[in-house]
Each structure stands twice: as structure tokens, then as C-alpha cells.
A and B are shown apart, each in its own frame.
Chain A
């Protein structure tokens, strides 16, 4: 993207950069050491308005979409999703008007706190999705830190999701505000809460940006995504775990805790609309400024802290041959399978994938078993099959993790058979981990369901479902491949612009896998337990068929396949 595209040449940087020292460095700063970006040029950059950053952001978004129908489709999908969220969220919050006043107030408090939490951690997990977020790219421009902060703030609020958040929060004004004065204060409260969300999220990303630029930091953070995956399951656990028989009481106790947090105060201010609200808003405004100032300080430090990515000695890996490598005959099958196993262990994305599959399954199995209901064999088979589906979904984009390195396979494979072998190696690696895991899960689920004997049909069915999932996954892997970003992203698992494809791939794999699994799962769930004996052969057959189909398809369109998984994230 050239300077013209950045929208900076015609609006200030160029001229200002050669003006002889105007108003001194870093006028906005309180600390003595200004960022070198501002200090070195000793020029005023007074005419750089935040508007430039907004245009920069818009151009980056537009440039990302130009001439790429797939990305455009993904973007349209995102916009539709955001519109839906905004619309439904707005209506939902507005509908609080029909709820009892205290319940409405409590819901408002909890939701506002939730928004802040999502904003604080969300962009962190999606770090790297947004070009204007990384301040180091702007560090050579003659910008004062304050301007940079204002600009980054402006760029941060420019986007589909910030807009959606704002719309949703305005729903609270409709739903909660008392009278005209309340509505007026409500608007202020929402704007302050929104600013707080943005500033907090920037403070978090900026303070950690140094860490995020080292490989080890990214690896650690990648694995920490797991906590959020688990946290997302928490409500499920709490609701199903009999934690609270009375949701209203739970809401009340939660709200009473959150009431005095800043977002709680914002929500309260909307409901209150009186003098207390004014005081709360004043506090919020001060808080936004303080967090903003902290962010500026963090930004200034981030700009002068060296990139740590090359520091530290790299550790060696054990040069051992895995069990699989010893059993399998020499050749591509063994090569791919052992490589996949190493990746599951060494690549944070691999670890995250496996851990989250297992964790989500475990939590779901546990919460399923807690719920009262028909019970019976379904309680053992259900969780096991669910686990198989979750693991199978990881294979819906088998080549994604290889990504930009996949050319190495592509230049070696000359037939559809080679691609089939490659997929078989990947499936073998998955099965090596998944088969014992699903067995274990079946035993646990059967124990929880109250009959250990159910573990046998549960495990057999789950293995069958895994086979089906792998077969379908092989086909989606070659038909709708997408790149998995090097930097983690807990939300889509695809590089910017390919989210739509990722959605199609996993959704297709899920639906296809679910439908094709029915012939074995349905009879077992209905009590025809002996059908589970057929599940494994059925699964093997379908995974073979999937590989056969996918091998030929993959060979026919491998340049496109390599291209699709090699998008840079």
C-alpha cells in the first residue's frame, strides 16, 4: 500500500516533517522521555487529525477486500452478523423496559460489565487482525504520542464491531433510562462506557504488544486462549450444575457485586438519571482519562522497546522417533503422520485445538450428565459422540495449519494417490490421539451415566463418528480450504477476510458429518445397542471414501489449495 493509499501525503505529514522545529516534542507527555518518533523530527505534527487514522483504517479495510470475491463475501457475512447482533442486541436491551425495574437494572449492570470484559480480552485474542492496531508500524511518523493515541483511538472505533457495540449499548438507554434527563445522562453514560471499552482494550493490547511480538509470548498467549474457551463454558456449567435453582437470585447477587465496577456504574447511571448518575458519570470520565493516560504511557514505552523476537537462545528438540514412526513403513504416510503428531505438540495452534476440543467436550459431557431427563444410554453415547464431532471438526481444514509450508508437499506429490496418502497420514495422526481419548471419555461418560457397560457402545459409536468426521473433513479440506493465522484468534480461526469460508467449512463439516453419522448414532441412541458394532467399520469406510474423493479433488486443484491456505494472516 503506497503512501497515497495511506491517505497521509496530502494531509500533513509530508509538509510538517520539514517544517523547522515548531512546537517541540511530545507536548502532551508528562514524562521526560518522548518517543523517538516525535522527538527525532522535533517538528510539530499539529495538523494530523484523528480523521486521517479513520481514513487509513477504512482504506485498509477496503484494500483488503479489493479484487477478492471470497474476502468480500466474508466481509459481507461479518457485516450481516454485526447488523444482526446490533439489531437484536438493541431490541433486547430496549425490551428491558417491559421487565421489572430492578431486574432490568441488574441485567443492564451485568451486560455492561460483560461488554467491558469482551472488549478487554477480545482484541487481544484477535491481535493482528487489524493493521492499525500495531503502533510499531506508525512509530517512524513524526507524531506526538498524544496524536498517535488520539488517532489510534479514532481508528479503533472505526469498525463494524465497535459500531455494533455502540448500537447495542444505546439499546440500554431505551430500555433503562428514566425520563428525558435520564435519557440525556444515558447517552453520556453509554458514550463513556464505550470509550472505556475501547481505551481499556487498547491499553491491554499495547501493554502486551511487546510480549506478543516474541514467539514465546505468542505461544503462551495462544495457549491461554484455552482459558477463554473454558470461561465460555462456565455459564453452561453453572446453569446445568445446579449452582443456582433461582436465576433471579443469581442475577441479583452477580449484579450487586458488579454494581460498583465502572461498567456497573455506567449502567446504573442510565437507570438512575439523577445526581448520583452525574457523580458516577464524572467518575467514569475521569477513569477514561486515567486509562487513556496509562495507555499513552504504554504506547510510548512500546514504541521504544526493541522487538524481542530474536532474543534468547532457541532450545533444541529431542531427536526421537515416535511410536508411530517405528511401526509404520517408511514413506510419505509415516512422514505426514509423525509430522502431524509433532505439530499437535509443538504448534500452539495444534495444542489449542486439541485442548479446547477436549475441554469443551468434557464440560459438555459433565453438564449433560447433570441435567435430569430420560437418562439411559444416551448419556454415555451422547458426550462421546460429541467429543468425536469436536475432534473431527479440527480436521475440516486439515491443511490449514501447514499453511504456507504446504508447497513442500505440493512439489512432491504428482498424483491423486499421493494426496490421498497425505490425508491418510493426517487422519492416522488424529486417530492416534483421538481413539484413546474417546475411549477414556466414553468410560467417564458411562460412569457418570451410571452404567460402566455403556462405555463399550459409546466408544464404538464415537470412533465411528470420528471416522465419518474425518471423511467429511477430508472433502471440506480440499473444497473449502482456508488459512489459519500464525497469530491466534479465538473467534474465527481464519485470516482476515476468510472468516466466511471458515464458517462454511466447519458448518458444512458439522452438518455433513452429523447427517452421515445418523445411520449409526440414531439406532444406538434409540436402544439398538448392537448397531454400535457396525459403527467402526462404517466410520472407516466413510473416511476412506472421503480420502478417495478428496485425494483426486485435491490433486486436481492443488495450486488453488496451496494458494488458499497460504494467505498471510
Chain B
């Protein structure tokens, strides 16, 4: 059995798509109660990893434990414990925000009255009360992320997985999202979210896992990972990009680019 102080632990997680290895032996660890950021460049395998951890994609190899429970062997217990907001805002478009929440709650067997009360509070906190009866298909990106988060929180999960929750979100909505997530982790619950906005991760997270090319290249408390630098510098160094502020390739190439060229 794994150490129960860990909310998430994967062992040698592997996923291939044809020839391509999307995730090549990932050991993701997230301590319980942490606000964890999964960072990495595009194509590093963040979404694939999160999909496997949340039981939406079958791994080729490896094991995943959430609160010590195997995701693929004990799905009932795991699914009751996790909340998920996948990438790409895939929601039931033709339900209103309120209906979407109540659908989610009922699907998980929460009594209707309880669902309605929770939905009402979530809609208010997310600043969606005015749009609660509009169809999700007509929501803006920020509203969709918020209703998605509300749906993921409705059954009060212990661990929350969010794939790029802040992508394309306006600052006001982003602020609402972070406030809710802060409150949620303060109560001892765990949040794992993927992002490539380093400032945000630095501001919110106390635990960081850095992925590159399907591997975890660094993982630990925020201060240890950034080791005195800014997270952005540390990140660029870790994933093998030049962290010295120079552009790719420095002076070579692209000589024609810019207003001064012929």
C-alpha cells in the first residue's frame, strides 16, 4: 500500500499512441492537501497524464493510486473522491448552467434537495447566478470554466484535477476561480492543475511537477524546484530551453525578419 499522505501517486505510467510515446514512465506524486501545479511545454504529456489519472484514458503500463486506492482496480471509491475538469471545455451544451449542475449531482446519487442547494451556492460564488438558466452553449470561455469547476466541485471531492483551468479566462473570472480553489485547498483538499502560465503556478501552488517529453523532470515543493530563481527560469532550464532571455537560435537565422531588413 502506498503512503496515505499522498493524494496522488503514479508508478511508471506509460501511454503510447501508435509509434509516439506520449507519456514515458511518469511517477507523479502529489502530497495530500497541496495545491499542485503540473507544468510543461505543449506536448509534454500533461493532458494525457491527467486523463489517465482521472480514469478517462487507459494507461498502457503503470499504476495510479489516489488516496491509496487504485484508479483502475477500485473505480467506485476513486470516482467518488475525485473531481475533474478536462481540457477543451467539453460540457453538455444544451443544458443550462443550473441543469448541468443538477445533472451532475444526480448522476452521483446526491439527493435532489441537497444538489439544488449546493448548485445555488456554487452559482452564486462563481458569479453565474444571472446566467444560470442560459444554455451552456451560449456561455463565454470564462463562464464555461467556472461552470465546469462548479460541476467538478459539486460532490465535494477530495482531489480535484483541472486541465488548463485558466486558459482563455478573463482576469475577473480567473480571480473567482483562484479564490474558490484557495478556499477549497485551505480545508485540506488537494488540487492538481496543469498550466503553462508560470506566474500563476508560482503564485498559487505550493507543489510543482515539471513535465517534459513525457517524463517528470522535477517535482517537489515550489521553493525546492525553483531553487532561488523564478519558476519561469527554473522551468526553461529544466525543459532544456535557453533560460537566459535570448531568443531561440540567438543571432543566427531569421536575419530577414524585422523592419530593418531589405
Contact = CB atoms under 8 A, between A and B. Distances in A.
Interface stretch (B78-86, B187-195, B220-228): B78-86
Nearest to B152: A411
Given A339-B103, A411-B54, A215 B138 contact: yes
Nearest to B99: A342
A107 B109 CA distance: 63
Contacts of B95: 339, 342
Nearest to A406: B90
B95 to A, nearest CB: 7
Contacts of A409: 107
Contacts of A335: 102-103, 106-107
A414 B108 CA distance: 10
B55 A339 contact: no
Task: Summarize A's interface: helix, strand, loop or mixed.
Answer: helix
B135 interface: yes
Interface in B69-116: 75-80, 82, 84, 86, 88, 90-96, 98-99, 102-104, 106-109, 111-112
Interface in A324-367: 330-332, 334-336, 339, 342-343, 346-347
Contacts of B82: 411
A330 B112 contact: yes
Interface residues of A, number: 38
Nearest to B93: A405
A394 B102 CA distance: 26
A404 B104 contact: no
B133 A319 contact: yes
A317 B96 contact: yes
Interface string A382-419: 00000000000000000000101101111111110000
B118 to A, nearest CB: 14
A315 interface: yes
A408 B92 contact: yes
B90 A566 contact: yes
Contact of A414 (B54, B75, B92, B99): B75
Nearest to B115: A330
Nearest to B140: A310
Interface in A109-143: none
Contacts of B56: 407, 410-411, 559, 562
A315 B134 contact: yes
A405 B94 CA distance: 11
A346 B90 contact: no
A317 B109 contact: no
Interface size, B (range): 35 or more
Contacts of B98: 319
A342 B94 contact: yes
Contact of A316 (B102, B133, B137): B133
A415 B106 contact: no
Contacts of A347: 93-94
B180 to A, nearest CB: 19
Nearest to A568: B88
A562 B92 CA distance: 14
B54 A18 contact: no
Contacts of B57: 559, 563
A314 interface: yes
Question: Looking at B93, B94, B256, which has the most chain A CB atoms within 10 Å of its CB?
Answer: B94
A67 interface: yes
A316 B135 CA distance: 7
A18 B108 contact: no
Interface in B108-151: 108-109, 111-112, 131, 133-135, 137-138, 140, 151
Contacts of A314: 131, 134-135, 138
Contacts of A562: 56
A402 B92 contact: yes
A310 B140 CA distance: 9
15 contacts: A67-B17, A315-B134, A318-B133, A332-B107, A335-B106, A339-B95, A343-B94, A346-B94, A405-B93, A407-B84, A408-B103, A408-B104, A411-B56, A559-B58, A566-B90
Interface of B: 17-18, 54-58, 75-80, 82, 84, 86, 88, 90-96, 98-99, 102-104, 106-109, 111-112, 131, 133-135, 137-138, 140, 151, 256
